[in-house]
Structure 1
Amino acid sequence: MAISLRRPPRERLLPINALADQAGISRATAWRIVSRAGLTHHRVSGQRESCIDVLDLVADLVARQLGKRPAPEPQPSAPPWQCPQCGHAAYEELSHERRRCHHCRQTFIRRTA
């Protein structure tokens, strides 16, 4: 029975996929972490290891990778582009910072926080 060297057997794929599901990341992300670390389903730094040992290493790598990127904090909403004279938000863009009100035609600069 010949085993393909290009793709691991399905039963060896499932634990890493399950690990990705448990970690709340996509399976593609988990496999990118595995490949960046130089791991395959049976190889760690050139030495054959059991699938369980590789899973432990992958779990550690995933935890470290996720630790580097904490959940983004919600950003406050940007200040509105609003005319200071009449309060209308309809405008034409004159430059990155300058606007002209469609209602009273006053030119104004974006409010900064």
Structure 2
Amino acid sequence: PNYRLPNVDINGENSEVKSWSQAARLLSQADNAKLPYWASFMADIEDPDWWPRKHPVPTYSNVIVGSGRSGIGIHIDVDNYNCTRVPVDTYLTLVCGAKYVIMLPPDQHMFEKDQPFP
């Protein structure tokens, strides 16, 4: 597969990386300097049989890693390839420390119809 380069953010600043090795180097330097960071990259992910997925979402085979108060924070995952930007599920989170997650029942959301996400 032809994967895009990782999206890398260090200490609140996005870094336009030109290669995977540059991304790894920048993240290693940030980690050594104890700077907050996050990175998002695509990976071959197969959904488990028990996952009730209606249809695949292009580019949502993403893995997000981070450290510290990186600013990845609260966000809603949406299908950017669908004109309606329908919310989609993020189903795996591994953390050390604390991460607050709001789980809603299927087909429900916390915003009024057509209300933009803050």
Asked which structure has the greater RCO (Cα within 8 Å, sep 6+), the reply is 2
Question: Structure 1 or 2: larger helix share?
Answer: 1
Return the TM-score normalized by structure 2: 0.20
Which structure would you say has the larger Rg? 1
